[in-house]
Structures are given as structure tokens and as C-alpha cells.
């Protein structure tokens, strides 16, 4: 049996430059940078306008970050990130040297 605790998102707030301030239920905050994803295009191109990106929200009791548009063929959000993957993304961005990524963790 694993002792890995699941991460839960309390809230998200859109910041300039395709960044999100994520507050976890235990109180920790991370600023995550999605600008490279947006630049890469593909499905992320749908979030290229600041207004569309700012619609980020939590879902599934805080276990998922999603955007309401675009949707898939079943009408469900097509872009989502599970909370554990989002947390790892923040840790990875924190480890990026010289501020290339705009992630920070505040305890």
C-alpha cells in the first residue's frame, strides 16, 4: 500500500502571461506557467486569448484543473490536468534554472 497523498486544488487564479496561481487545499501556492504550452499550439491554441485562458476552474472536487472550452465530442472539457500532474508540473518548473519558467512555491 502506498502512502502517497493525493493533491487537491482549492482554487485557481489567472495571472498575466498565461500563468495560474494555484492554491492547494493544504495552503501551499504555486504559480504555474502555461505559456510554452500555448505557444506549442495544438489543443492549447484554444486558450491563446487571455479571456479563454482565464476561464480555468477546478473540477471533480479539486482533483482536476480544466477549461470549459473547447469541449470534446461528448461535450466535456477537452483540456484538463489532474491535480497530481499539475503539482509535478509546478515542481518541475521550480527546478528550471534562471527563471525560464515562472513557477514558485510558497509555503
- Tell me the pLDDT tens digit for each residue of 67-86: 999 999 999 999 999 999 99
Q: Give the three cell numbers for residue 17.
A: 502571461
SS (H, E, C) the chain: CCCCCCCCEEEEEEECCCEEEEEECCCCEEEEECHHHHHHCHHHHHHCCHHHHCCCEEEHHHCEEEEEEEECCCCCEEEEEEHHHHHHHHHHHHHCHHHCCCCCEEC
Q: Which of 60, 53, 55 is nearest to 8 (CA)?
A: 60
Chain segment 10-55, per-residue pLDDT in tens: 999 999 999 999 999 999 999 999 999 999 999 999 999 999 999 9
Q: Is the pLDDT of residue 106 over 70?
A: no
pLDDT band, very low/low/confident/very high, at 105 (cuts 50, 70, 90): very low
* Gap between the Cα atoms of 33 and 102, Å rounded: 6
Q: Is the pLDDT of residue 98 over 50?
A: no
pLDDT band, very low/low/confident/very high, at 101 (cuts 50, 70, 90): very low
pLDDT band, very low/low/confident/very high, at 95 (cuts 50, 70, 90): confident
Amino acid at each position: 500500500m502506498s502512502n502517497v497523498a493525493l493533491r487537491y486544488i482549492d482554487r485557481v487564479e489567472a495571472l498575466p502571461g498565461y500563468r495560474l496561481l494555484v492554491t492547494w487545499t493544504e495552503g501551499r501556492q504555486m504559480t504555474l506557467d502555461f505559456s510554452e504550452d500555448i505557444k506549442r499550439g495544438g489543443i492549447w491554441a484554444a486558450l491563446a486569448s487571455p479571456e479563454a485562458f482565464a476561464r480555468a476552474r477546478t473540477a471533480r472536487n479539486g482533483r482536476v484543473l480544466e477549461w470549459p472550452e473547447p469541449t470534446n465530442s461528448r461535450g466535456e472539457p477537452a483540456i484538463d490536468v489532474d491535480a497530481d500532474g499539475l503539482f509535478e508540473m509546478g515542481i518541475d518548473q521550480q527546478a528550471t534554472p534562471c527563471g525560464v519558467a515562472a513557477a514558485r512555491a510558497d509555503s
